[in-house]
Structure 1
Amino acid sequence: MSHEKIAFVTGATGLLGSNLVRLLLAEGYRVKALARSEQKATQQFGELIGKRLEVVLGDLTSVDGFAPALQGCEVIFHTAAYFRESYQGGRHLAALHKTNVEGTQNLLNEAYAAGIRRMVHISSIAALGRNATGLTDETMVLAREAAPDDYYCSKIETDEVIFAFLDSHQDMHISLVLPGWMHGPGDLGPTSAGQFVQDYLQQKIPGVIDAAFSVVDARDVALVALAASKTGRRGERYLAAGHPVTMARLLQMMEAVSGVPAPRRKLPRIMLYAIASLQELFARLTGRPVLLSLATVSNIANDYGRKFSAEKIRMRFGLGFRPMEETLADEVMWTRQSATRRDTYKPGKVNSS
């Protein structure tokens, strides 16, 4: 009888986490999926929950609460992070540090105590800087003091925690995967990508801004993470940033795959700062999340013109990226189907046996 590998996935109901869980199940793994919400776990995985998929309810702010579930696992895929809320206006430095930095440190300690010696940590292109050529690779690590916002700072600090743990635990094997702006099906959150698609379909995108992004399919990032868990090198970073694309081109592709007309009006970036400033004031007065935060605008400006090398994952794993049109078409279809399901969805009980 073959040995059944058991993987533990944090952030399992998120965009990347959910696609990774499905990939692992398809590859024959038994999966323990960490989720904060029982309802969201049921909504995300439905009938998959059962013999080979076990939902573990818990939170990175209280790792000791789910630590017993780490027993028996061979590998951890750490995809969870405090991210979405940090771009909804205001400052979130304390929450970012507690979840991303302290949560990761506590997870490492508990995983090691449980006998786990292999982990894949999902970092971010936020941890990397740029050079004069405009092409960024895994060696161009950004100093914490150069981070443009609190989220970037927390991701850099989290990576520092990872490398410090590797230095003090020579038998621990951790590889890091650095995704770009992830899109694709399964975005229940939604992330900023999922919110962008929802806004586009509802024709809430006001115009075309002078911005560029690196868009990657979450399913491709999951493939890189799985490969890194098998043959990735200890302490190595692997970029999975995807395709560079301008906002204008992204909107054209959205029009092509959705049938919804793209906005044509050009918006100067200075207007975004003005709108974001007003939105931040609104957030402070009402306590509600903003549609456009100063952190988001800063992020757009910081990433403008950056391109990321995929050479390392091609050479090491033989992996690349599917066409962006395929990603967006699948994302649009999933978003439309999800809206229909929400109208009829009734939460059930998670079977976590």
Structure 2
Amino acid sequence: MILVTGGTGFVGAHLLFKLLNEEQTVRAIYRNEKKFKTIKRIFSYYSNNAEALFNKIDWIQADLNDIPALTEAFKDITHVYHCAAFVSFEPDKFDLLQKTNIEGTANIVNFCVSNNIKKLCYVSSIAAIGESKSGEVTTEETEWNEEVDNSVYAITKYGAELEVWRGTQEGLDAVIINPGVIIGPGIWNYGSGSIIKTIHNKLKYYTMGTVGCVAIKDVVDIMVLLMLSNVKNERFILVSQNWTYKKFLTICAEALNVKPPKKEAKNWLLQIGWRLDWLKHKVTGKRRVLSKQLVDSLILKSQYNGDKIEAVIKFEYSNLEVEIKKTCELYLKDI
């Protein structure tokens, strides 16, 4: 039996559909059953039997730090896809990020080792890849630099990867994927879905940085192929296109039939913006929207090389513009 953590999340939901469509027996961890509605909607994008597929999942309510619940979840499991994570770039969320991403992953790894799990696939992020020197392409071999002003999210995803590598030293076979911005439908309030929502609401500004993107279809296809392969103890950057933010936003806007952003958000404006956001947070207690590290990422011109996966498992990425169009069409139907 296959275990999927983060079953109600963006990657987890699409992965579950793929596994079920291939008639795999799956168990999934969830925290809040209110999100079941989202999963069923995602299933309905691809199948007329969404409810029937959903009912094939053996659901277990558990937190990544709930040891008794995880003990139950790991019974009769042979393979694990660890998709669960907490995503935030707010500095004051660092403790929760550590608790979920690092300690939670350590628990999953410990259960994999103690239960002789055949293979673990961990969903990390390009945020956990080291920052290349100016002009150099980032690869899986780029070293993590602790001296760089990394975001709290990046720090904890890197820490989670260390837990997976620790597990491999204890006999666990594992693969790690490091996707860029994942494009796909179903969840519109965070991730790439929130970007599409913002563009549809007539976003006015773009930044001069670059963004590495990949389709959700490619991500879950690669995850399954890696688990079925003999590949182990390797990590893979999953990026099919490196685009400027202006190009990415323009492609999305055209797919949504709205005008693309025309004004550049200058660096000085962004620097003022994150400071004002910090001040508002201190005065009102409202959640941070713009952190210094997020601003840095918006103006950073990084290039990620996602070719390794194509060579190792003979995989070919989907046409990203086509996948963006499909995603935007589903967004317009959902709103």
Common fold by TM > 0.5: yes
Report deviation, 1:233: 2.3
Say whether residues 1:253 and 2:254 are aligned partners.
no
1:66 maps to what in 2?
A: 70
State the alpha-carbon separation in 1 of the partners of residues 309 and 291 from structure 2: 33
Helix, strand or coil at the partner of 2:92? coil
The residue matched to 2:333 in structure 1 has which SS? helix
Secondary structure (helix, strand or coil) at the match of 1:136 reads coil
Partner Cα separation in structure 1 for residue 258 and residue 67 of structure 2 = 44
Q: Does 1:187 find its partner at 2:191?
A: no
Task: Give 1:33's aligned residue.
Answer: 28
Aligned to 2:18: 23
Alignment of 1:180-329 (within 5 A): 180-187=180-187, 190-203=189-202, 205-301=203-299, 304-329=300-325
| Aligned position for 1:101 | 102
Aligned identity (percent) is 22
Structure 2 counterpart SS, 1:143: coil
1:13-51 CA-partner distances (Å, limit 9, x unpaired)? 222111111111122211212121101023312614555
Conservation of the 8 A alpha-carbon contact between 1:144 and 1:157: no
Alignment size in residue pairs = 325
Q: Contact (CA 8 Å) 1:175, 1:232: kept in 2 or not? A: no
Measured in 2, the distance between the counterparts of 1:48 and 1:147 equals 47
- Residues 148 and 298, structure 1, Cα contact 8 Å, conserved in 2: no
- After TM superposition, give the deviation of residue 145 of structure 1 in Å: 4.2
| Other-structure match for 2:118 | 117
Across the aligned residues of Structure 1 and Structure 2, the Cα RMSD in angstroms comes to 2.0
Q: Which amino acid aligns with 1:35?
A: Y
> Does the 8 Å CA contact 1:63/1:103 hold for their aligned counterparts?
no
Could you tell me which amino acid in structure 1 is paired with residue 243 of structure 2? V
Partner of 1:239, secondary structure, is strand
Q: Summarize deviations over 1:322-348 as a string: whole Å, max 9, x none.
A: 222222222222323333xxxxxxxxx
Report 1:149-160 matches (<5 A): 149-160=151-162
Change (3 A) 1:206 1:290: farther
Residue 62 (structure 1) shift: 2.1
Instruction: Point out 4+ residue stretches in structure 1 off by more than 3 angstroms.
Output: 48-51, 143-147
Report the more deviating stretch, 96-105 or 139-148.
139-148
Distance 1:73 1:136 in 2: 35
Q: Which amino acid aligns with 1:323?
A: N
Partner of 2:65, secondary structure, is helix
Residues 244-288 of structure 1 deviation map (CA, whole Å, 9 limit, x = unaligned)? 011111122112211111121222022112112212222233332
Counterpart-to-counterpart distance in 1, 2:125 and 2:230: 17
Aligned-pair CA distance for 1:132: 5.7
Check 1:223–1:335 CA distance in 2 against 1; reply closer, same or farther (3 A cut).
same
Query: Structure 1: which 5+ residue stretches go unaligned?
Result: 1-5, 340-353
CA–CA distance in structure 1, aligned partners of residues 211 and 52 of structure 2: 34
Counterpart code for 1:251: L
Give 1:58's aligned amino acid. Answer: A
In structure 2, how many angstroms separate the alpha carbons of the residues matched to 1:311 and 1:37? 37
Distance in 2 (CA, whole Å) between partners of 1:262 and 1:90 is: 31
> How far apart are residue 229 of structure 1 and its match?
0.8
1:307 aligns to what SS in structure 2? coil
SS of 1:121's equivalent?
A: strand
2:144 aligned partner, one-letter code: L
Is the Cα–Cα contact under 8 Å of residues 127 and 141 in structure 1 kept in the other structure? no
Q: Per-residue displacement from partner, 1:105-141 (whole Å, max 9, x unpaired)?
A: 1111123333423100112112222246522221113
- Displacement of 1:216 in angstroms is 0.9
Q: Which has the higher contact order (CA 8 A, sep 6+)?
A: 1
SS at match of 1:308: coil
Gaps of 5+ in 2: 41-49
Query: Which of 82, 89, 103 is residue 86 of structure 2 equivalent to?
Result: 82
CA contact (8 A) 2:199 2:253 kept: no
Distance 1:197 1:232 in 2: 37
Residues 1:305 and 1:295: Cα distance change in structure 2 (over 3 Å): closer
Q: Which amino acid aligns with 1:13?
A: T
The SS at the match of 1:289 is: coil
Task: Provide TM-score, normalisation by structure 2.
Answer: 0.90
Q: Distance in 2 between matches of 1:24 and 1:208?
A: 38
Contact 1:135 1:309 (8 Å CA) reproduced: yes
How far apart, in 2, do the equivalents of 1:208 and 1:50 lie? 39
Change (3 A) 1:335 1:165: same
